[in-house]
Amino acid sequence: MPVVFRRNGYRFHFYSNEGDPREPQHVHVLKDGIDAKFWLWPDVVVAYNDGYSARVLRELTGIIEQHRDEIAVAWDEHFG
């Protein structure tokens, strides 16, 4: 599972097997066993949430928006 970056104890990553056919670009965020998945385009939106509060989801959305291009580049480099 490629880790794109870490911030405030959260791991922003994706899985090497992202479906067949592959899902659109997205990122998973994991901390303390809680996971959420965010679509990157056209807007950063929550695809699923396994326990983060609404406040944390807003914070994570902002972080992902700031790093969306970096995440997309890492995705493209990994998946070709």
Question: What DSSP string runs through 23-56?
Answer: PPSEEEEEETTEEEEEE-SSS-EEEEESS--HHH
- pLDDT on residue 34: 97
Residue by residue, pLDDT tens for the chain (80 residues) are: 799 999 999 999 998 887 678 889 999 999 999 999 999 999 999 999 999 999 999 999 999 999 999 999 999 999 88
- pLDDT on residue 19: 67
State phi, psi for 33 to the nearest 5 degrees: 80, 0
pTM: 0.93
